[in-house]
Structure 1
Amino acid sequence: MKQEPVQLAEILASLSLATDLGLGLPAEHVLRQTVIAARLAELAGLDDEVRADTFYVSLLAWVGCVADSHELATWFGDDRQMRADSYGVDRRPLKMMPFMLSHVGAGRPPGQRMAVAARFVGGGFRDALGTFVTHCQTTGDIADCLGMRESVRRSLSQAFERWDGKGVPGEVGGEGLEQAIRIVQIADDTEVFAHSGDVDAAVEMLGTGRGREFDPALVDLCVEHAAAILHGLDDLDAWPVVISGCAALDRTLGDEELTPALEAFADYADLKSPWYLGHSRAVGALAQRAATISGAVDPDLALRAGLVHRLGAIGVSSSVWNKAEPWSAVERERVRTVPYLTERVLSRQPTLARIGRLAAMTHERLDGSGYPRGLTATSLDGPARLLAASDFYQDLVEARPGRPAVGEAERAEAMHTEVRAGRLDAASVEAVLHAAGHRVSRRVPQVASLTAREVEVLVLLVRGMSTKDIARRLTVSPRTVTAHLEHIYAKTGTSSRGAASMFALRHGLVSAEQHWQRTPSEDR
């Protein structure tokens, strides 16, 4: 698949937009935080390498937030709300206890909430603190996948340490903290307070954390220049500012590097719930094999869209993904936003945007019953149909809360049921079943019993060719073409080129991606 060049900074910035979803904070929080960090690093007179580290650490520092989503949802209900509410809380372990107790069992009846609180005091608090370490380890793994250097990894491992040494895991403090993470910690909280309040609120927060959470010298510098550091943030389109000012160490990813980077996106999304671990990679691999079999879809595009199709799931609480009971109307509507969120996260970079547009169609259906846009067959091309079939099949392979994995024979029948109901495309389903190891007919499923030759004639007809043009193109007589057209109209229930065109679009027999040219004789 031909692609526009992708910068490493664009990959990280896109990932940061997904991180915003997981943190429960307004869009572009991490990007604005990165602008603040860059301004503070410049004022501090840090050398180019430390400023480069600061850039990367800022974009990656909170990317591991999804690693503890399952545990947070178990104790506190909505993991995203818990994270958003944690800003402004003293993060020393003993100070965190009252805050956590105020959130334990949220959304449960009083009796259940008391029981959960008792278990939390008995051992859950210790486990909750351990999730900070898990976060850092996960962030480090993602940094490895993206080829970050060791100094960046060291900073990321200190994300929850404090200047006073009372952080988590409490192994380092003071000057032992990397300069990059010291700056990012200040930038993170400062952005939240400045965005939700004003400069005075941010300055007050910094004063409270000075010498405790934060490097006092950096706090003094930030307070002294608060107006300049926070200038224009509310109206700022942070993406171009971050990308144009990215570190000198930034580089362009080769085509062979893009897929491994998107595999990091896949793993990131699937960490949201244990029930989905490995799902995105499996969908991508299945779609790639099915695309190769079909010969009509770019296998690399199918793979990459499959890898990222659940990225928006980070914006839904893990309590929803882990729920065995039917979703409420509110929960169902939030889940239906996942494809839209996926597309928005990837929309700022041209190559990623193309992949994101396809990924956002994973849950659309030919009859218009899918989501988020309710697209119908006329708007769903071959790649979209194949990806939808791949995801549907892989979901059957895996157990979900409240149901076991579906058996092999039942999977095939479920797929065929979707075809008969007009929701999934027959040819795509056959390609997916073949790719998954099922024994399928070698014949391409017929649409409306049209023969292969009749499909050829139909495609040429809807492209505006006359009977004589079609005859010349196929090297047959006009009488033969006329006979084919009679059969086509009878089988499709149409009687004009326009109606036949709509039929061809609905059934994926023609699309804008198909190219053809008239011969000189056809233009006469």
Structure 2
Amino acid sequence: MHPSGNGADVGLRRAELLAATSLAIDLGLGQPMEHMLRSSLIATRIAERMGLPAERRAIVYYANLVGWIGCHADSQELSALFGDDIAFRADTYGVDMAGLPFLRLMVSHVGRNSPGWERGVRTAAFLLTARHQVGRLIQSHCTSAGVLSDRMGLDREVGQALAYIFERWDGRGMPDGARGDQIPLEVHIVRLADVAEVHLRTGGLLRAVDVIRARRGTQFSPEVADVFAGDAAAIVDGLLEIDVWTAALAQAPDRHRTLHADEADELLRAVADFVDLKCPCTPGYSRGVAESAAGAARSMRMPAADVTRLYRAGLVHGLGRLGVSNQIWSKRGPLSTAELERLRMYPYLTGRILSRVAGLESVVSIATKGEERIDGSGFPRGLVGAELSSADRLLAAAVAYHQLLEPRPDRPGLDNSAAAQAIRAEARAGRLDADGVEAVLAASGHRPARRTSRDGNLTAREIEVLRLVAQGRSNREIAAALHIAEKTARNHIERMYAKLGVRNRTQASLAAIDRGLAPFAIDPTGNG
């Protein structure tokens, strides 16, 4: 079940949602965002010069925009072979992707960062089965690309074209070794535009032309290569200076099409499924987060518009994960500082990707806070207490619960009961909102926990101590205010810490705020 969308961020345009998805694809390719948008402009300009009719130019546009959407489905396998899947994809743009140059590139990534002996063993094993392993990955890519294209509502011809995205003019591509005119002309244009954009951006116009000419008749169609090389300056004119987002959307075949609420939800579910294929989680993870968050919001009688925003935020909260290598997601043992920083960037990347879509502003605001915690221990911004709305807290609880159900490199997935116990412990420790946790668990099929005091079973005196701690009082000042010995005050504080599951005064103060205790603290002026 999903909400109806009444009143929440209506009027979304499909072209913008697909363009935003392309930004996530860019990150997974090791390219800066707008790579695919820029290459789509190159592709459509080539198609115009070749006289393709509007319906075929539409295939070129969207096949380019989402052409690599399937590659993220095999990120786990790619990472197992080559380590950093994003770095490997980025490096492929520098070679012809056939013969010895491509083999040398693959070997250079096999076992990278492994001990010498292990890398040697893995390299030898890879060389014995290289074509079979790479072929299997490419077959997976092509199949996934077609399915995801269909799920996103693109024309059937787009999905059919994506089956050829790894084929080459000279027949040395995969998965079927199609050659020449056996490959749709639209794909020949897309493949050239994709590579030309990278070399234009990194090496300039002359470098881009040199690369295309060097691969003419091998990777690229001679006809398409000649069109590009013959009018390259005009084809790429302004591409490195213009507002690419606006320019690319102006070329979208359905740029004026506005989605109904149900259509928007269906497209966002397709995006969610796309993300789940990339990350080390089970299919349906993002949908589960969305449904738990929305169900919790309904049980708390939040407005229908907020329910819809939470549902959509749950679907798309993980989109930025595509910018994090599976080598990090799958690493056993502690992450390095750099790896941890990259992982903690994913909500920020989600926000950057989706902030371009008009009408998703309130969804993005929630979606970027799924990893925040009310004690300030979350990421990426370390928000605390009142900085997190009720909707933010519900999404954080839903994300935390469903992450516990997922297997991780260092542990198996927890069963429902163990996950519920773990998330309730997080609430007792002051990291997650207790009411939000119970609402999420109820929406996920758990029985409500036996209600306990919102104060963590604190005694009346411990509540008084907590209020004073929240005011910033020292142990001596607390003792004086309560007319007790300083040692007694210290003992009360230690017991209060243990009951709340906090370790310092900052966390205790946040717990007081979240429990509505801080506003009633004793006034230090003595005026009540």
TM-score, with normalisation over the residues of structure 2?
Answer: 0.82
Q: Which of these residues, 330, 339, 349, is aligned with residue 341 of structure 1? A: 349
Check 1:323–1:212 CA distance in 2 against 1; reply closer, same or farther (3 A cut).
same
Shift of 1:254: 1.1
Q: Which of these residues, 378, 384, 393, is aligned with residue 376 of structure 1? A: 384
Q: How does 1:232-251 map to 2 (within 5 A)?
A: 232-248=238-254, 251=257
Secondary structure at the counterpart of residue 368 of structure 1: coil
Shift of 1:420: 2.1
The answer to whether the aligner puts 1:389 opposite 2:402 as a matched pair is no
The answer to whether the aligner puts 1:302 opposite 2:295 as a matched pair is no
The answer to whether the aligner puts 1:405 opposite 2:410 as a matched pair is no
Contact 1:377 1:508 in 2 (8 A): no
Partner of 2:493: none
The answer to whether the aligner puts 1:331 opposite 2:323 as a matched pair is no
For 1:444 and 1:436, the matched residues in 2 are separated by 21
In structure 1, the gaps of 5 or more residues are 450-501, 510-524
1:245-298 per-position Cα deviation (integer Å, ceiling 9, x unaligned): 211586322110111111111121122234443321211121122122121263
Partner of 1:7: 13
Contact 2:200 2:207 in 1 (8 A): yes
For 2:19 and 2:224, the matched residues in 1 are separated by 25
Name the stretch that deviates more: 216-225 or 401-410.
401-410
In structure 2, the gaps of 5 or more residues are 458-508, 517-528
Contact 1:93 1:167 in 2 (8 A): no
For 2:121 and 2:360, the matched residues in 1 are separated by 46
Check 1:246–1:408 CA distance in 2 against 1; reply closer, same or farther (3 A cut).
closer
Q: How does 1:413-452 map to 2 (within 5 A)?
A: 413-441=421-449, 446=454
Q: Which of these residues, 65, 79, 83, is aligned with residue 59 of structure 1? A: 65
Contact 2:279 2:321 in 1 (8 A): no
Shift of 1:179: 2.1
Secondary structure at the counterpart of residue 158 of structure 1: coil
Partner of 1:87: 93
Partner of 2:465: none
Shift of 1:59: 0.7
For 1:503 and 1:69, the matched residues in 2 are separated by 40
Secondary structure at the counterpart of residue 264 of structure 2: helix
The percentage of counterpart residues that share the same residue type is: 42
Check 1:302–1:231 CA distance in 2 against 1; reply closer, same or farther (3 A cut).
same
Contact 2:249 2:255 in 1 (8 A): no
Partner of 1:265: 271
Poorly superposed stretches of 4+, deviation over 3 Å: 273-277, 407-410, 441-449, 502-509
Contact 2:272 2:315 in 1 (8 A): yes
For 2:355 and 2:45, the matched residues in 1 are separated by 26
Contact 2:290 2:314 in 1 (8 A): yes
CA-based RMSD: 2.3
Amino acid at match of 1:440: P
Partner of 2:209: 203
Shift of 1:171: 4.3
Check 1:351–1:504 CA distance in 2 against 1; reply closer, same or farther (3 A cut).
farther
Partner of 1:213: 219
Amino acid at match of 1:507: D
For 2:270 and 2:156, the matched residues in 1 are separated by 18
1:50-80 per-position Cα deviation (integer Å, ceiling 9, x unaligned): 1111111111101112112111111111000
Contact 1:269 1:313 in 2 (8 A): yes
Check 1:159–1:340 CA distance in 2 against 1; reply closer, same or farther (3 A cut).
same
1:430-457 per-position Cα deviation (integer Å, ceiling 9, x unaligned): 10121122221586974799xxxxxxxx
For 2:257 and 2:334, the matched residues in 1 are separated by 46
The answer to whether the aligner puts 1:288 opposite 2:290 as a matched pair is no
Shift of 1:505: 11
Report the number of matched residues: 458
Shift of 1:122: 2.4
Shift of 1:95: 4.8
For 2:365 and 2:392, the matched residues in 1 are separated by 9
Q: How does 1:28-67 map to 2 (within 5 A)?
A: 28-67=34-73
Check 1:44–1:376 CA distance in 2 against 1; reply closer, same or farther (3 A cut).
same
1:189-238 per-position Cα deviation (integer Å, ceiling 9, x unaligned): 00000000011101101111112211212211111111111112222221
Name the stretch that deviates more: 387-396 or 319-328.
319-328
Shift of 1:503: 9.1
Amino acid at match of 2:164: Q
Name the stretch that deviates more: 61-70 or 411-420.
411-420
Check 1:71–1:503 CA distance in 2 against 1; reply closer, same or farther (3 A cut).
closer
For 2:137 and 2:71, the matched residues in 1 are separated by 9
1:100-153 per-position Cα deviation (integer Å, ceiling 9, x unaligned): 112111111111111111221222442123211211111111111112222212
For 1:312 and 1:402, the matched residues in 2 are separated by 23
The answer to whether the aligner puts 1:75 opposite 2:116 as a matched pair is no
For 1:508 and 1:351, the matched residues in 2 are separated by 34
Contact 1:322 1:401 in 2 (8 A): yes
Secondary structure at the counterpart of residue 233 of structure 1: coil
Partner of 1:115: 121
Secondary structure at the counterpart of residue 137 of structure 2: helix
Q: How does 1:185-196 map to 2 (within 5 A)?
A: 185-196=191-202
Partner of 1:507: 514
Name the stretch that deviates more: 321-330 or 73-82.
321-330
Secondary structure at the counterpart of residue 199 of structure 2: helix
Name the stretch that deviates more: 163-172 or 300-309.
163-172
Check 1:506–1:182 CA distance in 2 against 1; reply closer, same or farther (3 A cut).
farther
Partner of 1:314: 322
Contact 2:384 2:510 in 1 (8 A): no
For 1:113 and 1:278, the matched residues in 2 are separated by 35
